[in-house]
């Protein structure tokens, strides 16, 4: 039997619409089983803490368990690789940080491409780093520190968590923009004992790490790295007040494997942003020295691309190699 042309077109249109309807129905029932957030760091440090805060709140909103899966190693690349290889179904999420964008240039043998293989879902948290010095450094302000460093090139050591870590690349950005010669000292463990004793003189740290020592007078905070002052250290100026254009964030977010249905991404984004708008969550993040970083998926995608480009320039200029 030959079908009328109009009827044939109607059937074809209906068939074409089936995948979209199926995806929409899938999104409406998502999640129907536990969800994993893969974290590329050990338990107890900032990326893990923020992931657990988000996971707890999402579990309550979804009525399904959201589990944090710690997979530290290779500068968080092990975790990213695991998510890239996971099914694109919304049940395996990546806890992203600024380090993921740094690694895109730092490592030339990655098995994945962050921008190509991970779909951004939502930002979750951002905070400044703070430039702190041992009190033995004869500089009480950032202009004094810059002047002292210029008068004593190569005599100030600054510590970091290792080559290519966020404190390292921020330090190199500061060196380039302030025109100073600081000596980088990478650590595999905590550098705080040596900073407190004066074995190293300076560091760019997440605020939560040194804030108790700053308040006790054991370390001196000179500036924060964001464009606005931090609520955690409201009397401390920004680097940009003295080095125009300087800006650097520690940030966290959530990504999923590429080809995850957009309906799932949009639902995750909506739920995560709802979590971040809760006053209790804002207070918890403030306690970590930061604030919520709510973004739409497209906005977060552009942010990641900009961060990748920014840190690529720093890594190439400074000649940074993996540890």
Contacts of 60 (CB under 8 A, 6+ apart): none
CA–CA distance, 200 with 120 (Å, rounded to integer) = 38
Q: Is 258 in the same domain as 281?
A: yes
Examine the pLDDT at 6 and tell me if it is beyond 70: no
In a domain, 24, yes or no: no
Per-residue model confidence (pLDDT) at position 189: 83
Instruction: Examine the domain organization and report whether 66 and 148 are in the same domain.
Output: no
Q: pLDDT-based confidence at 188, cuts 50/70/90?
A: confident
What's the total number of domains in the chain? 2
pLDDT tens per residue, range 26-37: 667 899 999 999
> Which one is predicted more confidently, 288 or 135?
135
pLDDT score at 45? 86
Cα end-to-end span (Å), the chain: 71
75 and 63: one domain? Answer: yes
Complete edge-to-edge strand list for the sheet that includes strand 66-70: 66-70, 35-39, 92-97, 250-257, 118-127, 291-292
Same domain, 230 and 266: no
Given a cut of 70, whether residue 17 has pLDDT beyond it is: no
What token pair was written down for 105? 């240039």
At residue 27, the pLDDT reads 64
Residue 11: inside a domain: no
In a shared domain, residues 115 and 164: no
Per-residue confidence band for 19, with pLDDT thresholds at 50, 70 and 90: low
> Is residue 312 situated within a structural domain?
yes
Claim to verify: residue 121 and residue 268 sit in the same structural domain: yes
Residues 176 and 200 both lie in one domain: yes
- Residue 261 located in a structural domain: yes
Among 223, 241, 259, the domain-final residue is 241
Grade residue 18 by pLDDT with cuts at 50, 70 and 90. Answer: low
Residues 170 and 140 in one domain: yes
On whether residue 23 sits in a domain, the answer given is: no
- Decide if pLDDT at 51 tops 90: yes
The answer to the question of residue 280 being in a domain is yes
Say yes or no to pLDDT of 23 above 60: no
**Where does a domain end: 192, 210, 241?**
241
Q: What is the mean pLDDT of residues 271-300?
A: 95
Q: The domain spanning residue 310 has which CATH number?
A: 3.40.190.150
Average pLDDT over residues 250-273: 98
Do both 106 and 70 map to the same domain? yes
Average pLDDT taken over every residue of the chain: 93
Task: Based on the fold, state whether residues 115 and 133 are members of the same structural domain.
Answer: no
The residue whose two tokens read 């900032």 is 46
Residues 256, 118 share a domain: yes
- At residue 9, the pLDDT reads 62
Question: Which has more confidence, 229 or 16?
Answer: 229
Q: List the domain range (segments joined by +) for residue 261.
A: 33-127+250-318
Domain final residue, candidates 220, 241, 262 = 241
- Compare 46 and 136 and report the one with higher pLDDT: 136
- Cis peptide leading into residue 86 (ω within 30°): no
- Give domain status of residue 96, yes or no: yes
pLDDT score recorded for residue 288: 87
In a domain, 15, yes or no: no
pLDDT for 64-116, tens place per residue? 999 999 999 998 999 999 999 999 999 999 999 999 999 999 999 999 999 99
- Region class of 42: left (phi > 0), else alpha (psi between -120 and 50), else beta: beta
Q: Do 224 and 145 belong to one domain?
A: yes
pLDDT for 52 beyond 80: yes
* pLDDT value at 21 more than 80: no
Asked whether the predicted pLDDT for residue 20 surpasses 60, the reply is no
The residues that bridge with 185 in the sheet, in sequence order, are 159
**CATH number of the CATH domain containing 208:** 3.40.190.10
Confidence bin at 4 (pLDDT 50/70/90): low
- Of the pLDDT bands very low, low, confident and very high (cuts 50, 70, 90), residue 41 is very high
Mean of the pLDDT values across residues 49-64?
97
């Amino acid at each position: 039997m030959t079908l009328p042309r109009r009827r044939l077109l109607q059937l074809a249109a209906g068939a074409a619409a089936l995948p979209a309807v199926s995806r929409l129905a899938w999104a409406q029932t998502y999640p129907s089983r536990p969800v994993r957030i893969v974290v590329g760091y050990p338990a107890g440090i900032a990326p893990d803490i923020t992931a657990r805060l988000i996971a707890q709140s999402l579990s309550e909103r979804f009525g399904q368990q959201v589990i944090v899966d710690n997979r530290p190693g290779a500068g968080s690349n092990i975790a990213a690789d695991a998510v890239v290889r996971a099914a694109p179904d919304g049940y395996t999420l990546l806890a992203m940080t600024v380090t993921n964008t740094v690694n895109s240039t730092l490592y030339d043998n990655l098995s994945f491409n962050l921008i190509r293989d991970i779909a951004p879902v939502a930002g979750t948290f951002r905070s400044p780093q703070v430039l702190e010095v041992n009190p033995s450094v004869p500089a009480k302000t950032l202009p004094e520190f810059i002047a002292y460093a210029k008068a004593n090139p190569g005599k100030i050591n600054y510590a970091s968590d290792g080559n290519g870590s966020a404190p390292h690349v921020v330090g190199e950005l500061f060196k380039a923009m302030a025109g100073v010669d600081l000596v980088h000292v990478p650590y595999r463990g905590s550098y705080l004992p040596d900073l407190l004793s004066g074995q190293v003189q300076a560091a760019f740290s997440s605020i939560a790490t040194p804030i108790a020592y700053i308040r006790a007078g054991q370390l001196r905070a000179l500036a924060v790295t964001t464009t606005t002052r931090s609520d955690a250290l409201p009397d401390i100026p920004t680097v940009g007040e003295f080095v125009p254009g300087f800006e650097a964030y520690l940030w966290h977010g959530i990504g999923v494997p590429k080809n995850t249905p957009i309906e799932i991404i949009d639902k995750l984004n909506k739920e995560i942003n709802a979590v971040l708008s809760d006053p209790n969550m804002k207070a918890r993040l403030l306690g970590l020295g930061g604030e919520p970083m709510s973004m739409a998926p497209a906005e977060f995608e552009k942010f990641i691309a900009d961060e990748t480009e920014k840190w690529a320039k720093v890594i190439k200029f400074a000649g940074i190699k993996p540890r």
